[in-house]
Chain A
């Protein structure tokens, strides 16, 4: 029953992603769709951590930054193949996340928020200050992505690559939520004593999902670096972390579909609001506030409830 509805959702998303290009009028919209798909993958990972496991992270852009700079520095300065640089970034992220997970995830609520915020800020300062490697505030140019001599080029190829990645991520995240690990993670969120009483090791589960979520962010950071062809410290900034968090909340906590919707809406909306010249940021804020007042549980969970599902 559950598996069935999941399969339907996945198929519908696949069809949606496949016909979306027919509706994309030009390269500008392809670019937006590609960015939205990349964001969605990061947001799905973040939602597993925040929405399902109940752990906050205000420093996730820092992990995106590690992936982005690993790819930028290793390919452009040291001539590594992009896939190797990407893997190195993911490994470094996994190592760092694992290192900080135990002490950080023992904290709760505001303390956890502050600790992850601090981690993100430290990373962002490193990217800004180590300018002999990272180019500092001016950023660094990244070579195009290629795998086994096959280059990904043009907005269409990038769109298909990222759409496919999004679909695979949705499938994998759905599998995770429905697995023994997923149940343990969700139980820790709302009934931690019960989870412990049946043998769930809270520290191990929280650390695992933190690392997975961070590695996902790092991989997408690498991809973004190649896609955009340029990395600045902004990719790892606190504002980017907040943006990712906002996508989780607006789309809906503990909702994979919500993560996709949240990422899509918050990637596209600022572009639609550019007609309110000068007031676009205020308009953006207004839309967010109105959404959260009307739909406090996020777009997808609230709509699902109203449609009686």
Chain B
């Protein structure tokens, strides 16, 4: 794979917080399609890396390129417009909106957002919203919570909130979807279902990046794994290559026995 083919390219990315290097000179590229995982012990810099890629944080040094364009330093809403979507470790769901409305929020950039037109119902806003409502219901069904459409966010179970986050991110039709610990807090059955969902998303052509602690899930889903430890990339490759790497075994897998 040449750099030009890469969907996402990270070059010597570094983020320092008051002397601590959360991400330290990390470089890698992510090709189109498939599932790519970022793993590492707690505090390895995985979430910081995600924040740098999705615009929630800016690098101290280095750059992020998405589809060949330098995007580091752009705010999250601009990156969303370029096709980078994400979910959060702790679900960020608007408690006052229904599940359906939370998904509809995901399509924000593809809708008319002028408040005056909205007040006067001009420009087909209502018609497009109605069409979007159906699309959102389909997405809810796709992630497996099709019956929760009218339930407000505050009334939903934790596992369903995590699925709702994914549905909302998909509503934005991202080309790269970053999932930050989607299986955290889920029971084994929910985790298995989630694995199938993520595979389904990848099969539909969306490139998935995954930060995850559940090794079985990571190994079964990913074609490409990046291992971080203390902010540095210590290994990268296919699951079986990473599994054999001595440094990974001592730094990370060793911790888990």
Contact = CB atoms under 8 A, between A and B. Distances in A.
Interface of A: 1, 172-173, 175-176, 178-184, 186-187, 189-191, 193-202, 208-209, 212, 254
B172 A199 contact: yes
B119 A184 contact: no
A178 B121 CA distance: 10
Contact of A197 (B85, B101, B102, B119): B85
Interface string B161-193: 000010011011000000000000000000000
7 contacts: A175-B121, A179-B119, A180-B113, A180-B125, A194-B92, A197-B85, A198-B105
A198 B120 contact: no
A193 B108 CA distance: 14
Given A173-B119, A194-B165, A209-B115, A199 B81 contact: yes
Contacts of B115: 176, 179, 181, 208-209, 212
Contact of B168 (A1, A189, A196, A198): A198
Contacts, number: 114
Contacts of B88: 193-194, 197
**In this complex, which of A182, A189, A198 has the most chain B Cβ atoms within 10 angstroms of its Cβ?**
A198
A179 B109 CA distance: 13
B134 interface: no
B169 to A, nearest CB: 7
B76 A196 contact: yes
Contacts of A187: 94, 97, 102, 105
B111 interface: yes
Given A199-B172, A200-B77, A200-B108, A180 B118 contact: yes
- Summarize A's interface: helix, strand, loop or mixed: helix
Top 6 A-B pairs ranked by shortest CB distance? A179-B118, A194-B92, A199-B80, A199-B109, A172-B119, A180-B111
Contacts of B107: 180, 198
Contact of A180 (B86, B87, B97, B108): B108
B54 interface: yes
A119 B106 CA distance: 35
A179 to B, nearest CB: 3
B141 interface: no
Contacts of A208: 115
B50 to A, nearest CB: 11
**In this complex, which of B54, B80, B93, B119 has the most chain A Cβ atoms within 10 angstroms of its Cβ?**
B119
Interface of B: 54-56, 75-77, 80-81, 85-88, 92-97, 101-102, 104-109, 111-116, 118-121, 125, 129, 150, 165, 168-169, 171-172
A190 B94 contact: yes
B186 to A, nearest CB: 19
Contacts of B168: 194, 198
A183 B80 contact: no
Nearest to B115: A181
B75 A196 contact: yes
A247 to B, nearest CB: 21
A213 to B, nearest CB: 10
Contacts of B150: 1
Contacts of B108: 180, 183-184, 195, 198-200
A186 B150 CA distance: 16
B10 to A, nearest CB: 19
Given A194-B94, A194-B165, 5 more contacts: A187-B97, A193-B76, A197-B169, A208-B115, A254-B96
Nearest to A185: B115
A195 B95 CA distance: 13
A184 B121 contact: no
A199 B114 CA distance: 14
A189 B96 contact: yes
Nearest to B112: A180
B76 A183 contact: no
Contacts of B97: 183, 186-187
Given A172-B120, A181-B118, A183-B101, A198 B106 contact: yes
Contacts of A194: 88, 92-94, 105, 165, 168
Contact of B172 (A173, A186, A190, A198): A198
Contacts of A175: 118-121
